[in-house]
Amino acid sequence: MEDLIFAAAKVMSVWLTVVFTLIVLPSVFGASLGISELYMRILVKTLEWATIRIQKGVKQEQAMALKNSASSGIIQRDETTMEKEIAGLHRVDFELSDVFYFSKKGIEAIVEDEVTQRFSSEELVSWNLLTRTNVNFQYISLRLTVVWVLGVLIRYCLLLPLRVTLAAIGIVSMIVGTTLVGQLPNSKENRPQKGGICVANHTSPIDVLILTNDGCYAMVGQAHGGLMGLIQRSTVKACPHVWFERSEMKDRHLVTKRLREHIADKNKLPILIFPEGTCINNTSVMMFKKGSFEIGGTIYPVAIKYDPQFGDAFWNSSKYDIVSYLLRIMTSWAIVCNVWYMPPMVREEGEDAVQFANRVKSAIARQGGLTELSWDGGLKRAKVKDTFKEQQQKNYSKMIVGNGSTGNPTMGAE
Amino acid sequence: RHAAATPHSLAGALEQGKPQTPLPDGSSRTGLKRLESQTQPLGKYDLQGIGELAVNPLGDRIINAFFKEGEDLTDFRSFIRVLAHFRPVEEGKSNETGRPEPMNSRLRKLQFAFQLYDQDSDGKISRDEMLQVLRLMVGIQVTDEQLVCIAERTIQEADQDGDGAISFEEFSVEKLNVEQRMSLRLLK
């Protein structure tokens, strides 16, 4: 029995030493041993091989169909607007067949919903040997299955313990040594400055890790419970952050006031805000809430794009909680992402908060290669506003009434 | 909410089951059966959750077209049957007598549109039913008098047997380009 404990202790100490020397120490000093790069090269080669095997195994037409459905959907949306369709029929007033347009649009929405699509994880064109992305693929060959089993072993028995160890070390040292957190000087070009606001598109809590890797920020966000809450409370000890209850956030004036106070104090770190308000699956950027853009100050936009080939970073918080999410992340191959720091933007004369928000959103979407949607991220949880419907109704009314020919010239359109 | 499948996953299931021919109208027994067993009932609430549908002025009526009178759930087969109306019409298929009318024929598409008006299913669009649809499409933008004007003029022009309402035959007369306006375009 003693021998067993001895052996276990020995293994643990060896393991910890290896981890410390190879990973923790170099990263503390900012150096790199090149292990990550080597790992990534091997990974890319393996995935390419796997893709080729799959393509051989699947019939050609099927592969093409899968490719299409993954990237652009099943139907080709008819982009003609109401005006064009009705004008094309050469008349200017109501016809019984006007319902055709709305029916078709409605059915298109049912078959392929632009919005809820964004809230489920991106479908990959080729499989990256993780079961969770295995939506479209069936059993292909024995060799592939063997590689997959090997992959599972590597991910769960090597990568997972490794990452858990690192996380444990990280969290413990953070909680114990929060008073020691230094303030890095921000002299790099385009990095957000003190008294500024940094906005970025949101995919997962990892966005925060990545940005803070490169600079110090004050966070704004929803106060969570559990492990996340513990982490949040300890960050506050080091430098001021602004954590909200989600119910408090409904009181927009209170929020704006707190944020204004924060940036007015030139000693405080730049605020990091995700104006979408929730995690999106990284194929598009949704509506930016205007609140962050009403505060004033300089906005530093940042675009973040994850490479989905190695692991899916998207956190569907209505489906997974933080721990199962972390488990998924730690058993993925890797999380690879591109971060672009963009030149600062300021609200221009005569531009209101909404227009400013849209301008920043377009810039971020363009930089990151994401599509732009004007839908509200809150649709993940709530229903849509009526203003969009009213807009459609307005357009339609203008057409059937605004052009006269109601038969009664004394009545004008509204 | 958890119990029912989302429309998107259903559409996705559609693709998986038959990668070459989406929207089956019963043409492949095994494919359809497998999908049926995989999916759970679809509720009105799920369709109402689609943003684009919620802002469609006729959104509610379109949703109701999928459900039987007074029911809140539908199964996969019935759901597909309604979607099948919007399948594009294939070129060159002649109207073979003796076969049942295909779901995506011109007639069926017109019937779908007619049904959006004719809520009491009496086979006629009354002036009130027309006013209801008009009101849905224009919202608050137009006055009652103007709408009544429009409705009465439309009935006057279309009504041929003089009963003050529009029957299906009167509705179907001369509707331009039904096949294209009431079909989805599927990607190959």
Q: Which residues contact A44 (CB under 8 A, 6 or more apart)?
A: none
Task: State the smallest CA–CA distance between residue B144 and chain A in angstroms.
Answer: 11
Distance of CA A408 to the CA centre of its chain: 54
For residue A345, what is the DSSP state? B
pLDDT over 50 at A183, yes or no: no
Q: What is the mean pLDDT of residues A184-199?
A: 57
Q: Which residue of A has its CA nearest to B10?
A: A111
Q: What is the mean pLDDT of residues A362-377?
A: 76
pLDDT of residue A132: 54
Using a CB-CB distance cutoff of 8 angstroms, which residues of chain B are in contact with residue A106? Answer: 52-53, 56, 58-59, 62
This complex has an ipTM of 0.77
Contact at CB, B112 and A115, closer than 8 angstroms: no
Among A68, A94, A380, A405, pick the best mutation site for testing chain B contact (most B Cβ within 10 A): A94
Q: Which of B48, B141, B185 sits opposite A75 (nearest CB)?
A: B185
Mapping DSSP onto H, E and C, the string for chain B reads CCCCCCHHHHHHHHHHHCCCCCCCCCCCHHHHHHHHHHCCCEEHHHHHCCHHHHCCCCHHHHHHCCCCCCCCEECHHHHHHHHHHHCCCCCCCCCCCCCCCCCCCHHHHHHHHHHHHCCCCCCEECHHHHHHHHHHHHCCCCCHHHHHHHHHHHHHHHCCCCCCCEEHHHHHCCCCCHHHHCCCEECC
Task: Report the percent of chain A where pLDDT is more than 90.
Answer: 0
Q: What is the mean pLDDT of residues A181-186?
A: 30
pLDDT over 80 at B63, yes or no: yes
pLDDT of residue A39: 72
A149 — pLDDT class (breaks 50, 70, 90): confident
Using a CB-CB distance cutoff of 8 angstroms, which residues of chain B are in contact with residue A120? Answer: 8
Using a CB-CB distance cutoff of 8 angstroms, which residues of chain B are in contact with residue A69? Answer: 12, 15, 19, 187
- Helix, strand, or coil here: A402? coil
Side-chain half-sphere CA neighbours of B98 within 13 A: 1
Any chain B CB within 8 A of the CB of A81?
no
